[in-house]
Structure 1
Amino acid sequence: MAKEEKKAPKLRFNGYTNDWERKEFSKIVQRISTANSNKSLPNIEFEDIDSEIGTLNKSTSQLYKRKKGILFEKNNILFGKLRPYLKKWFLADFSGIAVGDFWVLKPSDNQARFVYYLIQTSSFYNVSNITSGTKMPRSDWKLVSKTKFYIPMKLSEKHKLGMILYLIDKLINLHERKCEELALIKKALLQKLFPKKDEFKPEVRYKNFSDTWEQRKFFDNIEKVIDFRGRTPKKLGMEWSAEGYTALSALNVKDGYIDFTADVHYANQDLYDKWMAGNDLYKGQVLFTTEAPMGNVAQVPDNRKYVLSQRTIAFNVDETKVTNDFLAVLLRSQNVQHTLKSLASGGTAQGVSQKSLSQLKVILSINPKEQQEIGNFFNYFDSLITLHQRKLEKLKQLKKFLLQNMFI
């Protein structure tokens, strides 16, 4: 007789060996439906919650809208039933009014954090994502409430599981705020270290530099543009590989760094040779996204070979006129970004072509030492942002791993 499979997650805290039990979701939580329009309580609407983050994208001081909705209390859970694939959820740390498409859930045993992470698991998502409606699909409460989920029998295990994931979320939020703060500081420094519109000297300069900057056509600084937009493995009669040379596209070329976890594709040697055709990218070379999104700038991080993929181009600079590091910062300066938007074409997904870039004029330092000082400074600043971004991605991956392995 085959041994019955143990009903327990792969990963558990020490001291817990008993099976988990199955319970209908309606026994795990109570769904609150008390209508309320208390003018002294903040209102939270569907769009106020960031997808897959569980935080508000507005401060509570902005949320007093005096609307009618469902009363929620501290430690209630708001689950966005509208378009459930957007994954909107919020663990309340104050009382308020949930306006619109929310289920307000009160855990039956006060283990709010455990339930909060239960609704983020794939097992819950698979059920809640079975929707009714077409234009505005919503989760089906009758189906979800009757679905059975595995949960620990001991409250202490629920508490520990909820606590560890809660602490990881706190770290994720901390690094997200750090990245946002660094990005704001960087934006302010770009405004100070580059001339304002119609001016030829920056407001802040390094010591011993006082020369007036010079206006040039953008392409006067560029020897060659490497542009393989529209090229795909299929058009070359080939396919992506499981490993090999990483493809750089508009989805993984971010503002100041390469996200190697996004849009991951690889080319084998044959595809690389046919695709790049001798146009090897080199460390420090400037990359620019032309569309969706338009205007992201990063530099090739090392001398490993890369495939230049969708909606991304690279520049070979005229080293007598501009350094790669300075060019990368110049393209992200406020004046250049504003000009690029004015040159862009398209509706929702704006883009720029080489023809558009030929109309771009830039103001830049004529002193290579000043260029290098500015480039070095922002390289250091970008490294700080990248450091926190990598920590953030690792924490998100850790959370994903724990959700997959600490629940059934």
Structure 2
Amino acid sequence: MMSKEKRRVPKLRFPGFTEDWEQRKFSDLYEKISEKNDLSYSLNKIISVANMYYKSDAKVSNEEYLKTYNIFRYGEIAFEGNKSKDFAYGRFVENTIGDGIISHVFEVFRPIVKYDIYFWKYYINYEPIMGKVLSRCTKKTTMMTNLVAKDFLKETVLVPTLAEQKQIGTLLNTLDKFITLHQRKLDNLRLKKKALLQKLFPKNGERYPELRFPGFTDAWEQRKLGECMDSFEYGLNAAAKEYDGTHKYIRITDIDDETHNFIQSNLTSPDIDFNSDVSDYKLNINDIVFARTGASVGKTYLYNPSDGDLYYAGFLIRGKVNEACDAGFIYQNTLTRDYDSFIRITSQRSGQPGVNSKEYATFRLNIPCKDEQEKISELLNRLDKLFTLHQRKLDHLQLKKKALLQQMFV
């Protein structure tokens, strides 16, 4: 009896709420509707169900085709059958932006009881609960799942009072606003960094950048990447094992796609004998590693001593930057359009894309004097640190939201 009681209340609640959540059939909460567009809604009111916004680039063969579209009103839910790693059987999405129209392939349900729109926005989309429901009322096809509406309406879900819905919905929506704010800051920093890279480095074929620090006027020299390196070396051919507390293993997947930082979660160690001499595979200051194969070919990481003892894996190539060049400046060159273009062309293979050490050595880049290199590197590194700070705040907020969902939903 006690276990049943526990299952009907969430772990975390607002003060004043003690009663059990009520088990309700979805047919008590929603009704299936099929309200067709009579051309009251035009192209500018087509809603993206996946992202919940009005499409600005929507196109149809002719205006009459809009009559096949379903009207999708504020507060209603639509079933999207696309399977993904996050939603094994598709998902429900609530309309939180306003009335509009959606393709006839999406089934629409209208609430028939008083409800809090933001509570249901998160609850109806929460995979740990809705995934189990949808596993019993959908049919799989090759690419999507089809909802069996009558079966869905027979399913049940635990529902709190309207007052508790409002408290939960307000909290989660407020948290989402903070997440959106930090995401915008990140996006703005990305744009600022992108603009700086274009101005701080000479454009293709030119020898002077658009933006320079005071006191620097000399033309930049074109060199090959190989001239900036003491050597290129391939990494360890070893499997990963449980982290031993000291020796960290860096593989392609351990380099963050956005920040190019070493990912410190899920640490591993290389499965090798550390009593033998493996110092050649340990990263040092001024080392840059390059991904040499696969979808992430070209991805780079500049060694940061604060990351600890790092040993690099076989699908990475280590370049040791020589004393004539600043390692940070060389690394920033691997984030430019010219570098992206080089990787796109050079990596073309009959099988998986790839770039070997001899090919990396041929990448041409423009080089100023070392003092100017260091100035540019320092500026961009400060921006990268700010980017990392905002990314960590964003990650923290997303983890907090995940924890709240787990504790506030039954």
TM-score, length basis structure 1: 0.85
> Counterpart of 2:123?
118
1:203-214 alignment, distance < 5 Å: 203-214=210-221
Once the 2 structures are TM-superposed, how far is the Cα of residue 292 of structure 1 from its aligned partner? 2.2
- Contact between 1:282 and 1:303, CA under 8 Å: does it hold in 2? no
Provide Cα deviations, 1:228-277, integer angstroms capped at 9, x if missing partner. Answer: 276423xxxxx334865443333342343426377x34127856777955
CA drift at 1:280: 1.9
Q: Tell me: CA distance 1:170–1:272, structure 2 relative to 1, closer, same or farther (3 Å).
A: farther
CA contact (8 A) 1:288 1:313 kept: yes
Task: Determine if the alignment matches structure 1 residue 305 to structure 2 residue 309.
Answer: yes
Name the residue aligned to 1:344. Answer: 347
Q: Return the letter of the residue paired with 1:279.
A: Y
Tell me if 1:357 matches 2:360.
yes
Are 1:145 and 2:149 matched, yes or no? no
Q: Distance in 2 between matches of 1:29 and 1:199?
A: 64
Instruction: Give 1:402's aligned amino acid.
Output: L
- CA spacing shift, 1:348–1:241, aligned 2, 3 Å: same
Q: 1:30 to 1:5 in 2, by over 3 A?
A: same
RMSD value, Cα: 3.0
Tell me which amino acid in the other structure corresponds to 2:77: I
Q: Name the aligned partner's letter for residue 56 of structure 2.
A: S
Deviations 1:2-38 (A, max 9, x none): 6753320111111111111111223233333222263
Q: Cα distance, 1:316 vs. partner?
A: 1.4
User: Would you say the 8 A contact 2:222–2:366 is kept in 1?
Assistant: yes
Shift of 1:226: 4.1
**Which residue of structure 1 aligns with residue 57 of structure 2?**
62
Partners of 1:300 and 1:261 in 2: how far apart?
13
1:151-162 → structure 2 map (5 Å cutoff): 151-152=159-160, 154-162=161-169
Are the structure 2 counterparts of residues 208 and 81 from structure 1 closer, same or farther at C-alpha, using a change threshold of 3 Å? Answer: same
1:404 aligns with 2:399: no
Shift of 1:103: 3.5
Match of 2:309, SS? coil
SS in 2 for 1:150: strand
Q: Deviations over 1:283-317 (max 9, x none)?
A: 56433333322333333331511242474433211
The Cα of 1:212 is off from its aligned counterpart by 1.2
Residue 127 of structure 1: aligned partner: 133
Instruction: Report the count of equivalent residues.
Output: 391
Mapped partners of 2:154, 2:275: distance in 1: 56
**Alignment correspondent of 1:335:** 338
Match of 2:95 among 91, 94, 116: 91
Task: State how far apart, in whole Å, the 2-side matches of 1:346 and 1:388 are.
Answer: 37
- For 1:349 and 1:398, locate their aligned partners in 2 and report how far apart those are by CA, in whole Å: 38
The runs of 5 or more residues in structure 2 that have no matched partner are: none
One-letter amino acid of the structure 1 residue matched with residue 282 of structure 2: D
**What amino acid maps onto 2:57 in structure 1?**
Q
SS of alignment partner, residue 17 of structure 2: coil
CA contact (8 A) 1:344 1:356 kept: no
Q: Counterparts in 2 of 1:3-402, with a 5 A limit?
A: 4-6=4-6, 7-36=8-37, 38=39, 39-40=41-42, 41-45=44-48, 49-50=50-51, 55-56=52-53, 60-63=55-58, 65=60, 67=66, 68-83=68-83, 85=85, 87=87, 89=93, 91-99=95-103, 101-107=105-111, 108-121=113-126, 122-129=128-135, 131-141=138-148, 142-152=150-160, 154-228=161-235, 231-233=238-240, 239-241=241-243, 245-253=247-255, 254-258=257-261, 260=263, 264-267=266-269, 277-282=279-284, 285-290=287-292, 291-301=294-304, 302-309=306-313, 311-320=315-324, 322-346=325-349, 350-365=353-368, 367-402=369-404
- Secondary structure of the structure 1 residue equivalent to 2:284: coil
Aligned partner of 1:8: which letter?
Answer: V
SS, match of residue 253 in structure 2: coil
Calculate the TM-score normalised by the size of structure 2. 0.84
- Aligned to 2:299, the other structure's residue is in SS state strand
Quick one: percent identity of the two aligned structures?
Answer: 27
Structure 1: which 5+ runs fail to align? 234-238
Distance 2:217 2:133 in 1: 65
Report the secondary structure of 2:167's partner residue: helix
User: For the residues of structure 2 that align with 1:203 and 1:156, how far apart are their CA atoms?
Assistant: 59
8 A Cα contact 1:37 1:97, kept in partner: no
Q: Which amino acid aligns with 1:403?
A: L
Tell whether the 8 Å contact from 1:84 to 1:139 is kept in structure 2 after alignment: no
Cα distance in structure 1, aligned partners of 2:32 and 2:245: 48
SS of residue in 1 equivalent to 2:374: helix
Q: In 2 relative to 1, CA 346–275 (structure 1 residues): closer, same or farther, beyond 3 Å?
A: farther
